Amino acid sequence: MEKKSLILAGLYLAMFANSLVVTIIFPFASKMVTLFGKADNRSTTGYWVGILTFSMMFGRTTTSPIWGYLCDRWGRRPLIIIGMASIILFSLLFGFAQNMAWALISRFLIGVFTPLDISIRTVLSEICPGPELSSAMVIQSIVYSLGNISGNIVGGIFEDPASKGMITSGIFADYPFLLPNTIASVFALISLILVYPTLHETLIKSRLTQNLIPIKCRSIWQIFTDPLVFTPIIVSVIVSLNSTAFHELCTLWFWAHVEDGGFEMDPNDIGIILALSSIILLFFQKQLYGKLINIIGVVRLMRESMLAAIPLLLVIPIASLFNRMVTTRWIVVIVVCVLWHLLSFINFTTSMVISNNSVLPKERGRLNGLYQMGTAIARAVAPIIFGTTFAFTLENGWSYPFNFAFSFNLMAIFAGLAWFLSRNVPESLENAKIDEDMEVDSAKY
């Protein structure tokens, strides 16, 4: 049990580092774009911020099916090691970026060589069987949220330390975005040290294979076109699209001029608000999620939370009415962010559990490859769609509902689509499928 706890600690820390590198860029992305000479005012940074955020998710999109296939062929352990090494190396490369091309390439490479979502989710489903799986997925979601929180904090506080008086000279003064990315690399290094000597391969062995009878496995396309798999995957894609869009829009909205409906905050304030709203939620999200699951079940909870997201997104722009009130605006935007993060957490966790329940254990590597490809596509296009939409509406100076609020209204439309599709998810996916011909060497754990 102690060994299993150590393995889980290493895996959760790897997931923490994996989510941290996603959000670490949000607080300083607009500043980076301006520093690299790609925008000359706060209203036009959205275009390049979207492209910069897109690069990492585009990298994940291009390789996710391949990693999913390799996860079921090579095993889970090699992919986890590759993913952590990738974060260590390419985060540092991004921190040393001196121009936009350098930054784009390094973020793209992080996406290409980081299959941690696929491999860790698959490992958890194998070493945490039965009732433990739902709890493990909840903890994974919480760790992912912690990573998102820490990314906002680290990115907002530790970017450009010289300008904040933290240091006066040295490598971190010469490269203003190196320090936060070095911190991300350190977390990945610690997780690698924990996992490398303790985690054994968990790729499921078949009794049929041992008897020389071949196992028939479905192709990635056959898995994707299975109605039980297709709908949860598409719902997960929309959830990821809106989750990424919200972070993107908050970054741009908080950065924008007051006369445009924004708040004119600096990267430090943006990071603190995004982090603080998530920290407040962490105190009760696991207990609340557990109680809701016990009362109404995973499938119904997913449907209800997606329905609740629609009116919330439609009223969020009202917060701009308080953008000239220093204290009040902080309270309002934190409340808005807490409510959104609660619904996003429920949507993300339930869709992830249901997706894993839709296939047999021997197909989970490919399933999670599909899952990551779909969610990576969503996270790649979300900054482009919503960053461009936000910048375009501000540049043209249109009035409501075609001002900055239009981007949030667009999110509400996607939320409505997710809710509509979730109605087709069968109740049978409340529980995981079991293949009696497959077994894991549980003695190792």
Cis link prior to 131 (omega < 30° from 0)?
no
What contacts 27, CB < 8 A, 6 or more positions away? Answer: 152, 155, 156, 159, 251, 267, 268, 270, 271, 274
pLDDT at 140: 82
Q: Which residues pair with 206 in a beta bridge?
A: 438
pLDDT at 128: 76
pLDDT at residue 354 greater than cutoff 70 = yes
The arithmetic mean of pLDDT across residues 11-35, rounded, is: 88
For residue 427, the 8-state DSSP code is G
**pTM of structure:** 0.71
pLDDT at residue 1 greater than cutoff 60 = no
Give me the chain's average pLDDT, please.
Answer: 82
CA–CA separation, 392 vs 404, rounded Å? 9
pLDDT at 336: 86
**Secondary-structure percent of the chain, ordered helix, strand, coil, rounded to 5:** 75, 0, 20
Domain-wise residue ranges, the chain: 2-198+219-424
pLDDT at 175: 93
Helix (H) or strand (E) holding 304: helix 298-315
The arithmetic mean of pLDDT across residues 285-293, rounded, is: 77
CA–CA separation, 240 vs 246, rounded Å? 10
Query: 156, 246, 190: which is closest to 15 by C-alpha?
Result: 190
Query: 370, 377, 380, 273: which is closest to 330 by C-alpha?
Result: 273
CA–CA separation, 292 vs 279, rounded Å? 20
CA–CA separation, 221 vs 189, rounded Å? 35
Give the least confident one: 31-40, 170-179, 280-289: 280-289
Res. 303 pLDDT band, cuts 50 70 90: very high
386 compared with 92, residue with greater pLDDT: 92
Query: 124, 125, 363, 120: which is closest to 226 by C-alpha?
Result: 363
CA–CA separation, 183 vs 165, rounded Å? 19
The arithmetic mean of pLDDT across residues 313-336, rounded, is: 81
How many other CB atoms are there within 10 angstroms of residue 331's CB atom? 12
The arithmetic mean of pLDDT across residues 131-138, rounded, is: 72
| Cβ proximity of 251 and 269 under 8 Å | no
- Cα separations in angstroms, 132 against 136, 295, 315: 6, 18, 38
Q: Distance between terminal CA atoms of the chain? A: 7
pLDDT at 211: 46
Query: 186, 164, 196: which is closest to 24 by C-alpha?
Result: 186
Helix-helix angle 100-112:45-73, to 10 degrees: 30
CA–CA separation, 445 vs 442, rounded Å? 5
pLDDT in tens, 152-177: 788 888 988 988 888 878 899 999 99
> Is the C-alpha dihedral spanning 226, 231, 233, 237 positive or negative?
positive
pLDDT at 413: 95
| Cβ proximity of 433 and 357 under 8 Å | yes
Res. 183 pLDDT band, cuts 50 70 90: very high
**Token pair recorded at residue 55:** 């690069």
**Token pair recorded at residue 194:** 């924990």
pLDDT at 444: 53
CATH class, domain 2-198+219-424, is mainly alpha
The arithmetic mean of pLDDT across residues 38-59, rounded, is: 77
The torsion of the CA quartet 352, 358, 360, 361, rounded to 10 degrees, works out to: 0
196, amino acid identity: Y
For residue 217, the 8-state DSSP code is -
Q: Which residues pair with 205 in a beta bridge?
A: 439
Percent of the chain with pLDDT over 90: 23
Give the least confident one: 70-74, 273-277, 433-437: 433-437
For the ranges 205-209, 218-222, 273-277, 416-420, the maximum mean pLDDT occurs at 416-420
Q: Which residues pair with 439 in a beta bridge?
A: 205
Query: 355, 317, 150: which is closest to 239 by C-alpha?
Result: 355
pLDDT in tens, 362-421: 777 788 888 888 887 888 788 888 888 888 888 777 777 778 888 999 999 999 999 999
CA–CA separation, 252 vs 27, rounded Å? 9
Q: Which residue do the tokens 């690698």 mark?
A: 192
Percent of the chain with pLDDT over 70: 90
- Residue 338 φ/ψ, nearest 5 degrees: -60, -45
**Token pair recorded at residue 289:** 């999620």
Give the least confident one: 82-96, 148-162, 238-252, 253-267: 253-267
CA–CA separation, 206 vs 231, rounded Å? 29
Collapse the DSSP code of 215 into the 3-class scheme (helix H, G, I; strand E, B; otherwise coil) and give the result: coil
